[in-house]
Amino acid sequence: MMKENDSNPTNKSRRKFIKNVAIGSSVTLALGNLSFTFLDNNSALGKKVIICDYSICTGCRTCEASCVAYNHQTVNGTNTFGIVNPKNTNIKVHKFNPDLDIPANCAGCPDTPCINACPITIDSNKGIKALYIKEGTNAIALHEEQCIGCGICAKACETESVGVIRRNKESGKPEGLCTYCDGDPSCVKNCPYGALSYVTVDTKYEFFGKSPTQIAKVLTERFYNP
């Protein structure tokens, strides 16, 4: 039975094989051989998001460390000087048993269920709420001072999309909002296996808007029960 595993999975054979291939050659993996076609007429106005080729990802969590190093350089107002805590990451690697590693981050939903659910309107004429779309990167961003920490956005993300928005334990305000590192995602640049890509969002992509558990269910059948 497939289940999410917070500890290191016991079956490391697939991960070890992928690492050896990625380091030693440029062979195209046959583990499900995911197809990536991202551009079509339904693309969300050129918005770009981060996606993963799960047949290459080894679960090394370099993406988490890279994200925190760029986006969370201070803790309680103090600079961490390169010391990172992955729990603050905006991209999170979910580990499953059988051995699967599923990085999850904002899907860039064109219909923005998190923003739609937000009950706090700052500017009704412009449609600006406590959550809003940031100009330039089109990332979902937060007006900290207006947010009341109700958690409705997190619930909307969980029920209608990936489920990456989590609530701060003290304030209740949303965390895990991908910034795309101002248009040059650190996780993509630093992935040692090239598993992550920054591409134009396509709602026809196989795993668009799917939760880690939903993706793992498909890949368990593909990788382990061909």
The first and second tokens of residue 59, run together, are 């679960």
Distance CA 169, CA 98 (A): 31
Q: What is the CATH number of the domain that holds 107?
A: 3.30.70.20
Q: Which of 56, 59, 57, 62 has the alpha carbon at shortest distance from 26?
A: 56
Q: Please indicate, yes or no, if residue 29 is contained in any of the structural domains.
A: no
User: What tens-digit pLDDT sequence spans the chain (226 residues)?
Assistant: 667 875 444 344 444 444 443 433 333 333 333 333 233 333 345 689 999 999 999 999 999 999 999 998 876 777 766 666 778 899 999 999 999 999 999 999 999 999 999 999 988 887 789 999 998 899 999 999 999 999 999 999 999 999 999 999 999 999 999 999 999 999 999 999 999 999 998 888 899 999 999 999 999 999 998 7
Residues of the domain holding 215: 47-224
Residues in the chain: 226
Number of domains in the chain: 1
Q: Please indicate, yes or no, if residue 15 is contained in any of the structural domains.
A: no
Q: Please indicate, yes or no, if residue 53 is contained in any of the structural domains.
A: yes
Q: Please indicate, yes or no, if residue 61 is contained in any of the structural domains.
A: yes
Distance CA 64, CA 85 (A): 9
Q: Please indicate, yes or no, if residue 101 is contained in any of the structural domains.
A: yes
Question: What is 62-113 written as a DSSP string?
Answer: HHHHHHHHHH--EETTEE-TT---GGG-SSEEEEEETTEEEEE-----TT-H
Q: Please indicate, yes or no, if residue 55 is contained in any of the structural domains.
A: yes
Q: Please indicate, yes or no, if residue 201 is contained in any of the structural domains.
A: yes
pTM for this one?
Answer: 0.78
Q: Please indicate, yes or no, if residue 148 is contained in any of the structural domains.
A: yes
